[in-house]
Structure 1
Amino acid sequence: MARNTLQSTGVIKGFNQQNGRSELAYHHGNLRAELVATGRSLLEKDGPDSLSLRAVARAAGVSQTAPYRHFTNKEALLADIAKVGFEEFSDALRHGVDGVPTVKAVGPLQAMALGYVDFACSNPEVFTLMFGSLIADKSAYPELAKASLDSYEQLQEAVGDRLSSDDGQDYPVQTGALAAWSLVHGLATLMIHNGVGPDAPSKQERAAFVATVARVLETGLGQ
């Protein structure tokens, strides 16, 4: 089959002469997304130290050079994984009580705290990547920076709504948002790294614990 015909199908296959097996060298259109998904799987399985573009290429079944069409280095791949993480994280903040039918009548901040901690506990390696120092300068990746800011603005908006209902509050929304973020992020970090909370909890038990802690936050913001 002629090369231009292969290109028109979106797939070009190469042949690895060393081991005699064919491998996908270029998958037009969605290779980047496939590499991000593969990289995330490796990150979640083995941690960041074992992650490399070569390892991702092997796991994805593509040529060793294929990832470099989309990522200049490992950090660029990590930035895309973190961006996807923040997008999912924002969705989790919006739907904090979904799937937890036993937790009823929670306030907006409690619901957001549930989504925050549930995401962290369900995706500990990605969560650590998102907020850690593996990506030296997140501002170097505009899409990642935007996804990160979008999630924080959700929290700030929820705090602003809470404070607007209290005529006695005498500090700015930004201060309240920082206090809320510090508490909820600290709780999430302690739960995934230090085992704080119920022993081997079900999702409902974890949600009930987080809702109780978040209730303290909402009470404090109202004083």
Structure 2
Amino acid sequence: MAYHHGDLAAALVEAGLDLTRSGGPDALTIRAVTRRVGVTPNAAYRHFPDRRALLRAVSAAIEARMAQGMERGPAAPRASLRAVGLGYIGFALLEPGWFAVAFFGAGDASPESVVDSPAYLALADALDMMVHIGDLDPAARAAATWSCWSTVHGFAELALRGPLRHLDRAELWPLAEQAVDTVIAGLPPAV
């Protein structure tokens, strides 16, 4: 893809998405992105001061795409939470390169940066709705966030890099559903 005037920053992010989709965060270099776009590396530095800044922009684009796949619709809150969890795992399985970039690529996954991620916000919205209708104890809300996130993220990691990586999708998906269903069943309702 050659760059021909317009939004160079967006073109660099798009090239970064192309590179990281199959290669993960290690595939993203300023040189590779600029080569793909057809500009010199110096041109990229006008928009991104370094590789890490470009990686953060690519990660943000990935997280936005991930959140779109986690759309919940007008379902009941527990069903919505289930859709969010399975959407998270499904994205990781379909896009392992992007998943690695989104959660490990930029190296700054502090609790503060996580709470701004679209994936986190989708989870938070589902849990807030459960609290609102009395299906989740408000005192358990904060812990529920990390329990749910740990379950889906841990499952995704086990499926991508751990002992579940050798299972095919037909064997893996029922286990993903069981993991999500189990953590949701363990959430305490309001009393």
Alpha-carbon contact 1:82-1:129 (below 8 Å) kept: yes
Q: 1:210 to 1:137 in 2, by over 3 A?
A: closer
Give the CA deviation at 1:95.
4.8
Which is richer in helix?
Answer: 2
Runs of 4+ in 1 over 6 A off after TM superposition: none
Q: Could you tell me how far apart the structure 2 residues matched to 1:86 and 1:192 are?
A: 18
Aligned pairs (5 A) from 1:34-73: 34-73=11-50
Aligned pairs (5 A) from 1:57-96: 57-95=34-72
Which is richer in strand?
Answer: 1
Alignment length (residue pairs)? 183
- Tell me which structure has the larger Cα radius of gyration: 1
Identity across matched positions, percent = 30
Ranked by relative contact order (alpha carbons within 8 Å, sequence separation 6 or more), the top structure is: 2
Quick check: 115-124 or 26-35, which moved more? Answer: 26-35
TM-score (norm 2): 0.78
Cα deviations across residues 172-194 of structure 1 (Å, max 9, x unaligned)?
31111111111111111111112
Cα deviations across residues 51-104 of structure 1 (Å, max 9, x unaligned)?
3211211122223322222111111110110000111121122159xxxxxxxx
TM-score (norm 1): 0.68
Q: Could you tell me how far apart the structure 2 residues matched to 1:161 and 1:177 are?
A: 13
> In the alignment, which residue of structure 2 is the partner of 1:175?
143
Give the CA deviation at 1:161.
2.9
> In the alignment, which residue of structure 2 is the partner of 1:188?
156
Q: Could you tell me how far apart the structure 2 residues matched to 1:160 and 1:85 are?
A: 24
1:213 aligns with 2:176: no
Q: 1:74 to 1:113 in 2, by over 3 A?
A: same
Gaps of 5+ in 1: 1-22, 97-105, 140-144
Gaps of 5+ in 2: none
Aligned-CA RMSD value: 3.1
